[in-house]
Amino acid sequence: MKKFSSFFVLLIIAACSNMKSLQNSPLGDGGLFDTQGHRGSRGLMPENTFPAMKTALDLGIVTLEMDVVITKDKKVILSHEPFFNHEISTKPDGTFVTEAEEQLLNIYAMDYEDVKKYDVGMKPHPRFPQQQKIKVYKPLLSDLLDSIQQYMMSSKRALPYFNIETKTSPSTDNIYHPAPAEFVESLMAIIKEKAIEERVIIQSFDFRTLQYLHKRYPLVKTAMLIEDFDERGLKDQLKALGFLPTIYSPEYKMVNEDLVRRCHEQNIKVIPWTVNDKAGINRLKGFGVDGIISDFPNLFSN
């Protein structure tokens, strides 16, 4: 009976913390500056894994940024590419995935039990030498969310926010991933099951994903991802999207004070990616951005 009561005490503490956190939402007026750990903490730990997320949480980030793809047996898993990236992947036989073969290792053509046989934490990362090496495979989104909830409850801390990118493209529909409607429904089924709708942002470079989400789930926050080679400009980009997203999320090199002002005039938050130096973070804060995505969440507290 004592153990049973303690469990409910923890639930009450977590609920109260979450209520307070929602009141101080980074997306609300006057809310928190939204520090986001890119793929968890890619500069420090293997990307899109629980160790990367845990490290970011321990560094005090507000939002966990992550990417999801879908397997042949319809499992939603964390992965930046819909295949095994040669920079991070080791095959079941212990040899490294090569650049020439990576796109042949199509996750959408593999059941999750086969995906789990590939390691994505032990190969030295050529661009992130500080990244710790640990044996790990691509996790199910549902398992990752459960692990985060358990970890935060055990430490009596509020849940973070979740910025989840859908990895879709018109040219690879039904080859590397399902079409946007099926992709979004698969993702939202997990979000609803875990009851985290209010803590989730869905981001995408593929406007079709955001358009479907806005029509089907209008209360879910959206982030419009923009690369620096997109020369259409804010007005035409918003026209192509067809609605005002919660967040405009451009490559950091595109951001200036005028862009931030024009977004804020339309009640759109600005959260650029991916900023990996302290000077860059401070410069963008000076422009008035609402948050920053970084591979090195330790930079936010230095």
**258-295, pLDDT tens digit by residue?**
999 999 999 999 999 999 999 999 999 999 999 999 99
Question: Which residue in the block uniquely carries the two structure tokens 């977590």?
Answer: 14
pLDDT at 73 over 50: yes
**84-94, pLDDT tens digit by residue?**
999 999 999 99
Question: Which residue in the block uniquely carries the two structure tokens 């926010």?
Answer: 161
Q: Does an H or E element contain 162, and which? A: strand 161-166
- Nearest-5° Cα angle at 85, 74 to 43: 110
> Rounded to an integer, what distance in angstroms lies between the CA atom of residue 236 and that of residue 32?
29
Q: Does an H or E element contain 164, and which? A: strand 161-166
pTM of the model: 0.92
| 231: CATH | 3.20.20.190
Tokens describing residue 113: 């039990």
Nearest to 274 by CA among 24, 40, 26, 50: 40
- Angle 257-265/278-287 helices, nearest 10 degrees? 50
pLDDT at 142 over 50: yes
Tokens describing residue 229: 């080679």
**156-203, pLDDT tens digit by residue?**
999 999 999 999 999 999 999 999 999 999 999 999 999 999 999 999
Tokens describing residue 127: 């661009």
Tokens describing residue 174: 């039904």
**209-233, pLDDT tens digit by residue?**
999 999 999 999 999 999 999 999 9
Number of domains in the chain: 1
Range of the domain at 20: 2-300
